[in-house]
Amino acid sequence: MVESGLSGSVTNGYTRIFADLQSGTSGEVSISFSVTINSVDDMTFDNWRSEVSKILGPPVEESIARFSGIATVAAEPAQFAAQYALAAFSLVYNGDFTSFENQGTTPVVQQPCPEYLQLATSIFRLDSQELTLKGELTATVENPSVEAFIAVTYFLLANKVTSFSSYRGPIVLVGDEEVVTKPGILHRI
């Protein structure tokens, strides 16, 4: 068990990257971006979901997956990692998927229930890594407003930060060998 307890805070939010073409203008506006973030990677996230299923049971894990959006794009569950982690933690902390949603930073104290202790410990044991995301957004007359989102949920438990990021929009993860683009989702290389 973690010596200093599993109290701390939960923070959630997002970065919105956008390109807008002003009404009445023609042509296009393009922006390129590169963002470096810390996050649990997709393989670690998939393994952690299996652990969540063992802790809370498959029916509860399936409910969390549906609530967070994973059920809609089952082939790329990591694109919903921030929402999933926040919903799972909210459920064991307050009995509600949405208790930490849109709250910014919320202090949390160690709870005596076994599910909290197991889930918080499982989050504490995860390692985040530095990920670089790149993308390009182009707004045109036909599509005057385009955007990409990077949602992030940070857990500060026992003085260790673990972060989960979600990727929506035309974003790619830059790998060592090649970059694979899948519009609308992050594809891990």
Q: Domain of residue 55: give its range.
A: 8-173
Average of per-residue pLDDT across 125-137: 85
Question: What's CA 174's distance to the chain center, in Å?
Answer: 17
Average pLDDT of the residues in 93-112 = 81
pLDDT score, position 137 = 81
35 membership: H or E segment, kind and range:
strand 28-39
Domains held by the chain: number: 1
- When pLDDT is cut at 50, 70 and 90, the band that residue 122 belongs to is very high
The pTM assigned to this predicted structure is 0.79
pLDDT beyond 60 at 144: yes
Q: Which residue has the higher pLDDT, 104 or 4?
A: 104
Please tell me the total number of residues recorded for the chain in this structure.
189
State the CB neighbour count (10 A cutoff) for residue 140. 14
Average pLDDT for 58-81: 86
Let me know if residue 60 belongs to a domain: yes
Q: Is residue 2 in a domain?
A: no
Burial class of residue 88 in the structure, from the number of CB atoms within 10 Å of its CB (0-12 exposed, 13-18 middle, 19+ buried): buried
Confidence class for position 170, pLDDT limits 50, 70, 90: low
For 138-152, what is the mean pLDDT? 81
pLDDT at 174 over 80: no
Q: Across all residues in the chain, what is the average pLDDT?
A: 80
pLDDT: which is higher, 104 or 114: 114
Task: Give the distance from CA 114 to its chain's centroid.
Answer: 25
Query: Does residue 157 register a pLDDT over 80?
Result: yes
pLDDT value, residue 64: 93
> What distance in Å separates the CA atoms of residue 121 and residue 32, rounded to the nearest whole number?
38
Residue 183 lies in a domain: no
pLDDT for 182 equals: 35
Does residue 166 belong to any structural domain of this protein? yes
Look at residue 181 and tell me whether its pLDDT is greater than 50. no
